[in-house]
């Protein structure tokens, strides 16, 4: 399956004659409804008005990628509009952001996995200047749909780890004071931090489990029978407490396979590694939220 399979000239506006993002979205939703991809446009408009943060990926100066999962969508489809002068998104502080391309993806809940793949494919292509340049200089809706970047973009048969993982996750290093890393875990609520070196190679993992083991070895939770008290937490580093036995997965692995592995091993989160380097992070929460969440 190709990304171009989800596009059609009837759902493409070239030029997109809108100045604001709201107007552009409304025009593209109308196209989706007219094509039969949306059965109840008013219901979808109500969903859009909820303005959830996860509904949009803003790619600075390039594109706005909007995506909605809704029962009123009859099929998974995308609409795309191109405005050479850019459409404007306004912020409460009075600042603006402009981008020439707007993409709207809608799909029913049962196509959640495929929709994530389509959104991911767009999010990989739209940051590329050459893709935006090709779109801006396309003379017609037909030429947009036939662009090689869409025709050549393959959608995998199965949902892959790369479609769900968090890219550029928060990390720590082995030399960071343990107390500092623990404070970051508490502040962010992440539950774990991958430990990497200067070249982003994965060295280990620091999680609440390792911190609990550290507490059990100190006077904080000790039963008083410890003969050799552990060094002060002030002096300990992440390297002293982290685990080096980490279950890693690859970005090209099927999510179903990884989910089964995480369940069998009772693992909450896994680093995503390519050739030894950390490229992402996947948690049980990511899988549940992105596949079942509204």
pLDDT tens by residue, 77-100: 999 999 999 999 988 888 889 999
Count Cβ atoms below 10 Å from residue 73 Cβ, excluding itself.
Answer: 25
Burial of 228 by CB count in 10 Å (0-12 exposed, 13-18 middle, 19+ buried)?
exposed
Q: What angle do CA 128, 129, 130 make, to 5 degrees?
A: 90
**One domain for residues 118 and 207:** no
pLDDT of residue 231: 52
Give a yes or no: residue 96 inside a domain. Answer: yes
Rounded CA-CA distance 66/59 in Å is 11
Helix (H) or strand (E) holding 22: helix 21-34
Give a yes or no: residue 161 inside a domain. Answer: no
Residue where a domain stops, chosen among 117, 135, 155: 155
Specify the number of domains making up the chain. Answer: 2
Residues 6+ apart with CB under 8 A from 138: 14, 82, 144, 147
Residue where a domain stops, chosen among 136, 155, 174: 155
**One domain for residues 129 and 172:** no
**One domain for residues 193 and 226:** yes
Give a yes or no: residue 253 inside a domain. Answer: yes
Is 0.85 topped by the overall pTM?
A: no
pLDDT of residue 138: 96
Give a yes or no: residue 222 inside a domain. Answer: yes
DSSP 146: T
Q: Could you say which residues of the chain have pLDDT below 70? A: 217-234, 292-294
**One domain for residues 100 and 54:** yes
| Domain region containing 140 | 3-155
The CA-to-CA distance between both ends of the chain, in Å, stands at 25
Rounded CA-CA distance 168/157 in Å is 25
**One domain for residues 38 and 96:** yes
pLDDT of residue 121: 92
pLDDT of residue 294: 46
């Amino acid at each position: 399956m190709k990304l171009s399979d989800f596009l059609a000239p009837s759902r493409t506006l070239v030029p997109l004659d809108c100045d604001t993002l709201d107007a552009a979205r409304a025009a593209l939703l109308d196209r989706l409804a007219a094509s039969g991809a949306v059965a109840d446009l008013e219901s979808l408009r109500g969903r859009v008005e909820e303005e959830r943060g996860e509904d949009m990926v803003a790619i600075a100066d390039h594109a706005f990628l909007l995506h909605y999962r809704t029962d009123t969508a009859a099929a998974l489809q995308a609409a795309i509009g191109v405005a050479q002068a850019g459409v404007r998104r306004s912020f409460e502080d009075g600042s603006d952001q402009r981008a020439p391309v707007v993409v709207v993806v809608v799909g029913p809940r049962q196509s959640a996995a495929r929709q994530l793949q389509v959104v991911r494919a767009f999010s990989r292509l739209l940051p590329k200047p050459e893709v935006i340049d090709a779109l801006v200089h396309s003379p017609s809706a037909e030429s947009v749909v036939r662009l090689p970047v869409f025709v050549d973009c393959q959608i995998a048969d199965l949902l892959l780890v790369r479609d769900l993982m968090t890219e550029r996750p928060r990390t720590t290093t082995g030399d960071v004071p343990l107390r500092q890393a623990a404070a970051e875990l508490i502040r962010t609520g992440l539950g774990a931090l991958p430990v990497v070196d200067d070249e982003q190679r994965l060295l280990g993992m620091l999680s609440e489990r390792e911190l609990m083991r550290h507490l059990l070895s100190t006077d904080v939770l000790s039963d008083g029978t410890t003969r050799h008290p552990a060094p002060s937490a002030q002096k300990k580093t992440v390297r002293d407490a982290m685990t080096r036995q980490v279950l890693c997965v690859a970005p090209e692995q099927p999510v179903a396979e990884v989910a089964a592995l995480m369940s069998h091993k009772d693992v909450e989160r896994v680093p995503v590694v390519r050739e030894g380097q950390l490229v992402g992070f996947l948690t049980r929460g990511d899988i549940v939220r992105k596949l079942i969440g509204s």
